[in-house]
Each structure stands twice: as C-alpha cells, then as structure tokens.
Chains A and B, each alone.
Chain A
Amino acid sequence: MKKEANLFLRLLIRLGEQASTLVSNVWGITKLVLDVLVNLPRSPFRWRETIHQMKVIGVETVPLILVTMAVVGSIIVIELRYQLMRLIHTADWTPGFAGIFFLREAGTAVVGAMVASRAGAGMAAEVGTMQITDQVDALKLLRANPVHYLVVPRFIACTLMTMALSVTGVACCVIVGYLFVMDVHNFMSYVETMRKFVGIRDFLVIFEKSFFFGMAIPIISCYYGFQARGGAQGVGTATTRAVVYSILAVILLDFLLTGATQVVSQI
C-alpha cells in the first residue's frame, strides 16, 4: 500500500513541477513579447542584421518549403479525391476542397511548422550558443539590450519571411496538386472549381495566419535560446524545445484563428 502511495506522490510532484515550469515559461514568453514590442521602434534600427536574417530565414528555407509543400499538396489531393469518391461518387469537386486546405492550412500551418523546424532551430541555436558563451552577458555589460540587438531583427525578418514563404508554399501546393487531378480537370477547370470554394477572404487569411505564426516562432525560439544552460548539451536542449513549442504555438494560434473565423462567419 505504501509503495503505491509513494509512486502516486512522486507522480503528483512531477506533474506539479511540470505545471509550474509551464506557468513560468508562459510568463517569460509574455514578458519577451512585451519586451520586443517596446524595443521595436527604438533606434538604431539594425538594417543589416535584419536583412541578413531575412536571407537566412527566407532564402535558406525555400528548398525545404518547395519539397514539403509538393508532398503535402499531392497527399491532400490524393486523400480528398479518395474521400469524395467514396462519399459523393465524383472527383469533380476535389480542387475545391483541396484549395481550402491549401490556402487555409497547408500554406500557413505546415509552412509555419517547417519554418519553426529550420529557422526556429537556427535562431535558438544561435542565441543559445551566445548565451552559454556569455556573449549575451557581454552585450548587457556593453549597455546593449539583448532583446533589441538579437530578437528584434529576427522578429521582423521572420514575420515578413513567413508570409512570403506561405505564399510560395500555397503556390507550390496548387501547382503540384493539379498533377493529381489531371485526368478529371484541365488547368482552367481546376482553377475555376477552386474559385467556387475559396475567395479573396481565404487569400487574405494566408497573410493573417502567417503573420501571427511568423511572430510567434522567433519569440519562442529566442526565449528558449536565452534559457540555454550548461554547454553544448544545453544548446541542444534549447533547440529541441524551441522547435517543439514553436510548432505547438503554431497549432494553438491556428486553432484560435480558425475558430475565430468560424465563429465570426456564423454570426
């Protein structure tokens, strides 16, 4: 009896620890958000660094996005085609359904996850390495604000680039998706069908969602970068955490935005 109580107690303590870590992390991230917003308008504006980050985040992630979106696009079309055949016995509306997913989810959330994996990991690693080699402390001693110096350029770069990459991703999906309904549609009818289901609003949604995703990823990645402790291993831990929680944040934000859109449309 005692042994079970002991185990249960330990599990409870563990859960408690995890909960308190969660709370302190959420609080820390909130503080960082505020910090970034405060430091945004502050001069000097680091043009070169921001552009450099845009190159790193944007250009280097393009191949990954193209490949990923090609696969995702084709799978979405294949899957939807199968489902529609089963339900309504025609594949004609496939582009419509596919278009919805391309514009609302694939182009945004999946692209966001990819950006988190690549750029987010990179940012966490960079900031993390600077943290454990005391360079962040050095910045503070030189009266430079680490948030202004490190986070703001990445914040701006990532927001802009995520939006650009999302558009690219959607385009890639649409083009590749066509290949898998070629027997039922020519390109004209493909686009026409899609336009029956998706409109300007959905196109704008791409920008809306990727905007928020692009903001969340650098904040979370840099946060965990700053949290890195204990040498090379610490950087590794920070990077993994940054990626996982960035993706989680993308999912949660996606849910909130999707849900909000849905609620609004039902009013």
Chain B
Amino acid sequence: MIRGFFEEIGGIFVFLAETVYSLVRGPLEWRETLLQMYRVGVQSLVVVFIAGFFVGAIVCIQFNNPLEMLGAHIYLGGITGSAILREIGPMLIAAMISGRIGAFIAAELGTMKVTEQVDAVRCLGVDPMICLVAPRFIAVVVMVFFLTIMGLLIANVGAAFIAYTLLGVNIYYYVSSLIKLADTTAFAYSMVKGFVFGVLIATVACRKGMTAEGGAMGVGVAVRSSLVVTAMGLFVAEYLLTSILRVVVRFIQMGEVLYL
C-alpha cells in the first residue's frame, strides 16, 4: 500500500510534466480551450457565489464575540477579511468545486478512453495530450483560479454585509481595518493557493480519466479515485502551502528589512 501511494504521487507528477511539455510544444487548440473554460466555469459560478457569501457572513459572526471580549472589536473587518483571503477562501472553493469539476473531467475523459475515442484520436495522427488534455487542463486551472478570486470577493461582501446589518458595525471602520490588514501577503496567499489547487484538481482529474480502463465500471472507478486523490491532495497541499508560504513571507520581510 505504501508503494501504491508513492506510485500514485510519482504518476501524478509525471503526468503533470507531460502536460506542461505538451503545452509548451503547442500549438494549443484555442477554440476547444475556450469551450472547456465555459463549461467548467459556468456550472460552478452560482454555487461559489452562494457558498462564498454565506461562509463569509458566518466567519464574521464568529469572530465578533471573542474580539468584543478582548476589546479588539475594531479589527473585525481586518481579521475576517484576512482569514478569508488566506485560508478560508481557497479551502472553501476547493471543497465546493473540486469534486464537481474533477468528477466532470474525469468522467468525460474516462468515457472517451474506454470507448476508444482516445485511440481514434491517435490514429488520426493527433496527440491526445494536445487535443484533449491540454485544453481541459488550462480550463480547469484558469477557472479554479478565477472562481477562487470571485469566491473571496463575495465572501468579503457577505461578511461586510452581515457586519453592517446584523452586528451593527460601523461600515467605515470595517472597511478601513479590512484594507489595512488584508494586505498583499493575504492576496498572495489566496492567489498562490488558488493556482496550486487548480493545477492539482486538473492534473488528477485528467490523469484518472486518461488511464481509465474496463468499460463503464472503469469510468466509475476513475471518477471515485479522482475524487479521493484530489481531496487528499488538497488537504496536503493546503497544509504544505500554509507552512511554506509562512516561511517564504518571513524570509521576504527579513530581506526587505535588511535591504532598507
């Protein structure tokens, strides 16, 4: 089982490398990529909006009490916004859409693989990586990143909204502490995470789809396997990224101090 674990990880990185190589070699099929972006993005937009808004509101409410207790209530905007950007936003998006998008891509590619459509592509002298995988890969990475940013914004809107309406916080104080504390670091966190999560979801889903075998059952196996590996990978990535980013940021800050 341990060996299987390492094989899986290795396989994922190899597949990622192959995909990147195909992207570099090109030429990229633009029409197909745009079509995929539409399909991947549109289906999740509404869900991200709703989830983001309410989660933002919830987080804000929860921070309210303890901050009040410490007399640090003015920081509500800042701490909520910061937390959303750095941690909650990316994780939320990943949780909501990774399953959907991953299953969608894995199922589609898996079905094409077991019905020999992928072989048909090869026999027509076309590289399946360029024709099938690359467009979907780019679509997922771009869309997950985009949806993450959207989700973060909406979450902050939801948090601010609830702060104003339910908690009676002065909107001016909220926003000014938000701006003050949700700094570039926080944004960097969310963007890096959004990107990495997107790459993870895309790679695992495409790989599982392209290696599906054994008819309809095989497609089911590919989809379930894709969901499990993606979920685990996201947690590991989240933890690693948080740790690494912390160190990197501190490094940069030290560097800035020394430089200045």
Query: Which residues of A line the B interface, CB within 8 A?
Result: 18, 67-68, 71, 74-76, 78-79, 82-83, 86-88, 93, 96-97, 100-101, 104-105, 109, 113, 117, 121, 197, 231-233, 236, 239-240, 243-244, 247-248, 251-252, 254-255, 258-259, 262-263
Asked if B26 CB lies within 8 Å of chain A CBs, one says no
Which of A67, A88, A231 contacts B72, CB < 8 Å? A88
Contact, CB under 8 Å: B99 / A117: yes
Asked if B13 CB lies within 8 Å of chain A CBs, one says no
Which of B51, B78, B181, B227 contacts A248, CB < 8 Å? B51
B109 to chain A, nearest CB (A): 13
A67 to B96, CA, bound (A): 18
A201 to B96, CA, bound (A): 30
Contact, CB under 8 Å: B219 / A83: no
| CB-based nearest A residue for B98 | A117
Contact, CB under 8 Å: B51 / A79: no
Q: Which residues of B contact A101 (CB under 8 A)?
A: 62
A-B pairs with beta carbons under 8 Å apart, 24 shown: A67-B235, A71-B235, A71-B238, A75-B91, A86-B181, A87-B72, A104-B62, A232-B216, A232-B220, A236-B103, A236-B107, A236-B223, A240-B103, A240-B104, A243-B100, A248-B47, A248-B50, A248-B96, A251-B58, A255-B57, A259-B162, A262-B64, A262-B166, A263-B166
Total residues of chain B contacting the partner, CB 8 A? 51
Which of A87, A236, A244 contacts B78, CB < 8 Å? A87
Q: Which residues of A contact B58 (CB under 8 A)?
A: 105, 109, 251, 254-255, 258
Contact, CB under 8 Å: B107 / A244: no
Contact, CB under 8 Å: A97 / B66: yes
Contact, CB under 8 Å: B61 / A259: yes
* Residues of chain B from 233 to 250 with CB closer than 8 A to chain A in the complex: 235, 238-239, 242-243, 246
Q: Which residues of B contact A252 (CB under 8 A)?
A: 50, 54
Most B Cβ at <10 Å: residue of A79, A113, A248:
A79
Q: Which residues of A contact B79 (CB under 8 A)?
A: 83, 87
